[in-house]
Chains A and B, each alone.
Chain A
């Protein structure tokens, strides 16, 4: 079975541009998480979806970050007016349900802002 798929794997953008990162979770997984991993750091939580409902967006660093999962499967993380500090690896994870069930991670999107 397919795992969590993220695209693109690498994204280079100029400061001020908008970017969109895609996550295709494991089929049937209800819960979907986005994390941000800065260089040399552990992943940090950004936002959580249960089906199409965004139940927690407390980790989003600013209002330039926006995530959606309109049909309860594929999710998109959008960053508007990118800044250099947005450079990081963005990881998506999914699980059958929340509640501390094991999360399955994609390989991430490495975002570089020039």
Chain B
């Protein structure tokens, strides 16, 4: 069965520092992968997606993610974090088929120190 693991529950970084959030997935075929961000009391906003092709994917707000099939990973990165990036980040894999419901990880909460 498909699954997503986000090993880090909570990460704190200093403003201006680089960021990497880890995501590992379990999926039998080529996965559809997504990163979403959720601010308190808000819904989820799509940061970026990977369907096929170039394994380095650019998203909004300066985020990027790299798909590594050999490691079953899809880590999210940002070279310089801003205080407004503090939020919860969710990695998700598409369940496949024509339906496409998402299977989410448990999320990583990002705190940013001034």
Contacts and interface: CB of A to CB of B under 8 A. Distances in A.
B43 A106 contact: yes
Interface residues of B, number: 28
Contacts of B44: 43, 91, 93, 105
Contacts of A91: 43-44
A25 interface: no
Nearest to A91: B43
A33 B98 contact: no
Interface range on chain A (Cβ under 8 Å from partner): 20 to 34
A100 B32 contact: yes
Contacts of A44: 104
A31 B100 contact: yes
A94 to B, nearest CB: 11
Interface of A: 4, 6, 31, 33, 35, 40-45, 48, 55-56, 59, 91, 93, 95, 98-108
